[in-house]
Amino acid sequence: MPARARGETRAQEVDVHAVLLAAEESAEAATLAIPPVGVGLAAFGALMVLLAATYAFRSVGLRH
């Protein structure tokens, strides 16, 4: 008689269930300190600062 007919579960099924439980727990615990829009605005601001720094030094190599 196969193991499934006896009501036994395979190790892979147990592993998948454990992974799903861990994913649920981490999804509940993973909350951001600021909303996603704030993260986007902060990233945009940081990139604009880097753009300004790049723009400020655009002609440094042309002096020589």
Tens of pLDDT along 8-62? 566 666 678 888 888 777 656 567 789 999 999 999 999 999 999 999 998 887 8
What are the residue ranges spanned by the domains of the chain?
1-31, 33-64
User: Which is nearest to 9 in space by CA: 59, 18, 57?
Assistant: 18
- Residue 21 confidence (pLDDT): 81
How many CB atoms neighbour CB 62 within 10 A?
Answer: 6
CA distance 13 to 9: 7
